[in-house]
Amino acid sequence: MSERVYFLGIGGTLMGSLALLAKESGFEVAGSDGPIYPPMSEQLANAGITVNQGFAPSHLDPIPEKIVIGNAERPRGDPAVEFVLNQNLDYTSGAAWLGENILRDRWVIAIAGTHGKTTTTSMVAWILEYAGLDPGFLIGGVPNNFGISARLGESPFFVVEADEYDTSYFDRRSKFVHYRPKTLVINNLEYDHADIFKDLDAIQTQFHHLIRTVPSDGLIVAPRQSSAVDEVLRQGCWTPVARFAAMEEKGLQRIDMDNGESWHASAMTSDGSRFTVILDDAALGTVEWALLGVHNVDNALTAIAAARHAGVPTDVAIEALGQFKGVKRRLQLFAEKDGLRCYDDFAHHPSAIRTTLQGLRNHVGSERIVAIIEPRTHTMSLGTLREDLYHCTAPADEVIWFRSENIQWDLTDLVNASLTAASVENDIDRLVDRISAYVGNTCHVVIMSNGGFGGIYQKITQRLSA
C-alpha cells in the first residue's frame, strides 16, 4: 500500500501543485481547504485527488502517514491543526516535503527574486521541454505551453519557482532554503512581504542562506547593477556567478560569464516583442514572440543562461522562446469589444506595475491605457510602498484604484499625489460600468490584482458579450 499524504490547505498554489506531484509520484493523496477556484480546483479534480471542504479532524481518518500543513495566516486554532498537534501526528511543511521527496536527487534549477519568477521559471521549463529533456517543474502560475502548474518529469532536471516567503508557522525560513539548487537565478531583489519581513536586510539574510546551499560546481545568475544583490554576494559566495546588466529602453541587455564570454540581447523593437541574442559579436538568432516589455527580454536571457548550464544549446533555447506562449494572468487579454481590450495582470508590486504598463505603452503607442489596480498584497494593503505607488502608473493615461475591505490606509493619498489622472472606486459593479463605457473607443484596460478581484473578470466578460 502506498504512503498516504494529506495536505491541509490544498487549494493554495504551492500546496495544490505539491499534491499533484505527490499523486504523480505514487502517493495516496487527499486534502482539505475552504472554497477552491479554477484553475487549481480543475487540476486537482482532473488528477482524481479527493478534496474535503473545511478542516474537520474527521477528514484525517484513517490517519495518514504524513500531513503537510500549508502556510495559512492563522493555523493555530484550526481544528485539524490542533488535532495533528494533540495526537502527535507526523507533519511537515510544503517546502520541506518538496525538498525531501521530489528535489533530493534532481538537478534543481531555481528561479528567485522579487519579480519575474513565474514567467522566467516557465521559460526555463519550456526551453528544457523543447530541447527534449522532459523536465519536472513547479510554478506559481499556469504556463500556457503546459496548461498545468506542476509535473514530475522523467529527466534529472527540475525547475522550481523559488519563493522567499516564509515556509510555515513553525518554520520562518524562506521556502527556497529547502530546495538546494544547482542552478540559481536571482532576477532582482527589492523590499516586499511587509507582513513577515521588517526590512530589506531581513530578506537579504534569507537570500544569503539560499546562496549557501548552491554547490561550488553550480551556477548563479544575478544582476550586475543591483546593490541589494551585491550586498548578499559579499556575505559569502562559493559558486561561479554570471552577472547580467538589465536592459535599458531600446538598448542592450548583457550577461558576462566567469569564462570571459559576454552574452547580449539587442531589442529590435521598443516593446520587447523582437530581439536578437548575441554571443560576443556573433548574432546567434532572433526571438519574436507575443510577450511585451524589456523586462521580459531580461527574463529571456537569464532563462537562456540557466538552460545552457543544464546543457541546452543557445540556438535551441532561442527557437523555444519563439514558441513560448506566456503565463496565465500575465498581461493576458481576456475580453474585447469594439476597440476596448481588457487584460488580466498579476501585478503584485509597484515595480511590476510600472514595467508591465511601460511594455504595453511601447507596444500601443499613443492609444489610451487605463490601469485598474487592487493593491491587495500584504505589502501594498498596509501602505508600506505607497510612495512607489504614486509614480508606478505613469505609463498609463488614467488609473482607478480599487479600495477593498482589507486596505488599511486612505487611497485618496494616491489620487492627490498621482502623476496620472486618478480616482478611487469601492464598488465592483460601478467599476464594470465605467469599463464598459469605453466600448466604441480604442482603449486598453489593464486590471491588476493578485486575487480574484470580486469576480470582475467574469462580470466584464459577461457585460461585453451581452
What percent of the chain lies above the pLDDT cut of 90?
61
| 352 shares its domain with 429 | yes
Note the pTM of the prediction, 2 decimals: 0.88
- What does the pLDDT read at residue 382? 58
Q: Is the pLDDT of residue 249 over 60?
A: no
CATH of the domain at 435: 3.90.190.20
- What does the pLDDT read at residue 221? 93
| 89 shares its domain with 127 | no
Give the whole-angstrom CA distance, residue 308 versus residue 157: 13
| 297 shares its domain with 401 | no
Check: CB of residue 83 under 8 Å from CB of residue 54. Answer: no
| 90 shares its domain with 116 | no
| 419 shares its domain with 289 | no
| 84 shares its domain with 207 | no
| 64 shares its domain with 135 | no
The residue among 371 and 268 whose pLDDT is bigger is 371
- What does the pLDDT read at residue 377? 60
| 162 shares its domain with 291 | yes
Q: Which of 271, 297, 322 is the C-terminal boundary of a domain?
A: 322
CATH of the domain at 37: 3.40.50.720
Sorted by sequence, the CB contacts under 8 Å of residue 401 that are 6+ apart come out as: 373, 375, 411, 414, 415, 422, 423, 424, 425
User: Which residue from 193, 240, 204, 203 is spatially nearest to 220, judged by alpha carbons?
Assistant: 240
| 149 shares its domain with 71 | no
Domain of residue 428 covers 332-465
| 83 shares its domain with 107 | no
Amino acid present at 394: A
Amino acid present at 189: L
- 406-432 per-position pLDDT tens digit: 776 677 777 787 878 888 898 999 999
Q: Mean pLDDT over residues 323-329, rounded?
A: 92
| 288 shares its domain with 410 | no
Q: Which of 259, 288, 322 is the C-terminal boundary of a domain?
A: 322
Q: Is residue 327 part of a domain?
A: no
- 214-237 per-position pLDDT tens digit: 999 999 999 887 899 999 999 999
Q: How many folded domains does the chain comprise?
A: 3
- 149-196 per-position pLDDT tens digit: 999 999 999 999 999 989 999 999 999 999 999 999 999 898 877 778
Q: Is residue 425 part of a domain?
A: yes
CATH of the domain at 287: 3.40.1190.10
Q: Mean pLDDT over residues 55-74, rounded?
A: 90
Q: Is residue 403 part of a domain?
A: yes
| 120 shares its domain with 236 | yes
Q: Is residue 10 part of a domain?
A: yes
